[in-house]
Structure 1
Amino acid sequence: MRIEVVADVKTTLGEGPLWDPEQERLYWIDSFDGRVFRSTFDGREIRAWDVPEKIGSMALRKDGNGAVVALANGFHLLDFTTGDVHLITDPEPGKDNNRLNDGKVDKHGRFVCGSMDTQEEGPNGALYRLDPDFSLHKLDDGIIVSNGPCWSPDGRTFYFADSWSGEIWAYDYDLATGNVANRRTFTKIDTSRGGAADGSTVDAEGCLWNAQVYDGKVIRYDPEGRIERVIEMPVKKVTSCMFGGPKLDILYITSMAKPPLPRFPGDGVLRGSLFAIYDLGISGVPEPRFGA
């Protein structure tokens, strides 16, 4: 195993690595600076798009040259050719202290994304599902910081975390309807060092990988929620993870250059880098695109 810096673009709040197997390109975002990045698997040919608000996550579209982006005040369409951004819907009008955060797409092309309290204090957020027809559905609420949505390889178990709950949850996921049920604790996070569950992904063996922000760890959990391995990262503020590369065997890790609130720790010179972990001997699962 080896860890390398793929792109040192100093993202203020790097998030959401997303590998596109069709075009063999890697996407990631800077949540605070409102920017979408794209590069080759090894960090070449970097391209960036600006969006008008903070961005929590994105999903590539099946139809059209662009993505669905979860911006602070709603779901939008981003056109990669023109750079234009158009509002689809705002799920939380009037909630000025909330913004949309982490999200991913299920096997039927539905974008599941949660919101968060920007002060990371009150349970003011919720979990939503945006369907390919742009209809919006609330799946859960009472959430402080929505993070880590992903599915088991068969798509029937949905994983999700409220970062400050100290837990990652599992739900039964109905592939036919996109509804969730039977929320339970998948695993508990050791928060004694100040860390919390951030972005997650699931590998082809059904194990869940979670970036534990402020604690500098990426942890692999087996399907029963037991720790299978712990990887110590070169920075403390790791934020999310995703398998990619031509063989889906490179684990990409985003990080932040600046903490969102003063109470969180700083980091070293590699802060804000996009990292890659090689030679794990494990492959990921291709991410679906949004759309019918």
Structure 2
Amino acid sequence: MRIEVLVDVKTHLGEGPLWDVESQRLYWIDSTGANVFRATHQGCEVRAWDMPEPIGSLAIRKNGDGAVVSLRNGFHFLDFATGEVELIIDPEPDKPDNRLNDGKVDKRGRFVAGSMDLKEAGKNASLYRLDPDLTLHKLDDNIIVSNGPCWSPDGETFYFTDSWSREIWAYDYDLETGSVSNRRVFAKVDTVTGASDGSTVDAEGCLWNAQVYDGKLVRYLPDGSVDRVIEMPVKKVSSVMFGGPNLDVLYVTSMGKRHLPTNPHDGVQRGSLFAIYDLGIQGVPENRFGG
């Protein structure tokens, strides 16, 4: 195994790595810096788009040259050609202290993303599903910070974390309706100062979670037990995604800014996009948004 800096862009809050199989391009975001980035699997041909407000996640659209993005004040379409964004719907116009955060797409092309309390203190946030027909549905609530949505390879188990709960949850996921049920604890996050952040699932059905402030990536087996821990060269790791031509490179985002005085300080590699090679594990292709 080897860990390399792929792109050194010093993101304030790097998040949401997304490998698009069709275009063979890697996307990631700077949540508080309000940017979307794109590069090749080798970190070349870097392109950036400015967002009008903080961004929590994005998904590539099945039709057209663009994406759906979760911005602070709602779901929007992003046109890659013009850089323009267009509001789809704001799920929480009555909650100015919230913003949308992490999200991913299910096997039927639905975008599932949650919100977060900006002070990371109150259970004021919710989990939403945006369907291809652009209707919005609430899946869960009483959340502080929505993070780590992903599915088992068959799409029938949905994983999610409220970061400061120090738990990763599993739900039964109905692929026909997009509904969730039977929430239970999938894994306890073994950390004192850190929190569970972004996640992905590999082809063997194991879940990888970035544990921010601890500088760890943890691989959980389908039964929730810990299989492997990777120590990263920075503490503020934020999210993970398999990509590359063979889906066997693990891309890892990180924070370049200390958002609180209690956050750990990282060195010159802070805010970098990392690539981990030679793991001997493949990921699963990410789905595109159907709308």
Query: Take 2:240 and 2:191, find their aligned partners in 1: how far apart are those partners?
Result: 19
Match of 1:103 in 2: 103
Alignment partner of 1:164: what SS? helix
Match of 2:254 in 1: 255
Deviation at 1:190, TM superposition (A): 1.2
Give the letter for the 1:207 counterpart: C
Alignment partner of 2:260: what SS? coil
Q: Which moved more, 1:176-185 or 1:257-266?
A: 257-266
Match of 2:233 in 1: 234
Match of 2:218 in 1: 219
Deviation at 1:274, TM superposition (A): 0.2
5 Å-filtered alignment, 1:1-292, equals: 1-192=1-192, 194-291=193-290
Query: Take 2:120 and 2:80, find their aligned partners in 1: how far apart are those partners?
Result: 32
Query: Unmatched 5+ residue regions in structure 2?
Result: none
| Alignment root-mean-square deviation, CA | 0.7
Q: Report if aligned partners of 1:13, 1:259 keep a CA contact under 8 Å in 2.
A: no
Deviations 1:89-142 (A, max 9, x none): 000002111000000000000000000001100001000000001000000000
TM-score by length of structure 1 reads: 0.99
Aligned pairs, how many? 291
Give the letter for the 1:243 counterpart: F
Give the letter for the 2:24 counterpart: E
Deviations 1:193-249 (A, max 9, x none): x11100000000000000000000000000000000000000000000000000000
Q: Which runs of 4+ in 1 moved over 6 A?
A: none
Query: Take 2:91 and 2:169, find their aligned partners in 1: how far apart are those partners?
Result: 23
**Could you tell me the percent identity over the aligned residues?**
74
Q: Report if aligned partners of 1:170, 1:183 keep a CA contact under 8 Å in 2.
A: yes
Query: Take 1:23 and 1:270, find their aligned partners in 2: how far apart are those partners?
Result: 28
Alignment partner of 1:88: what SS? strand
Give the letter for the 1:146 counterpart: S
Query: Unmatched 5+ residue regions in structure 1?
Result: none
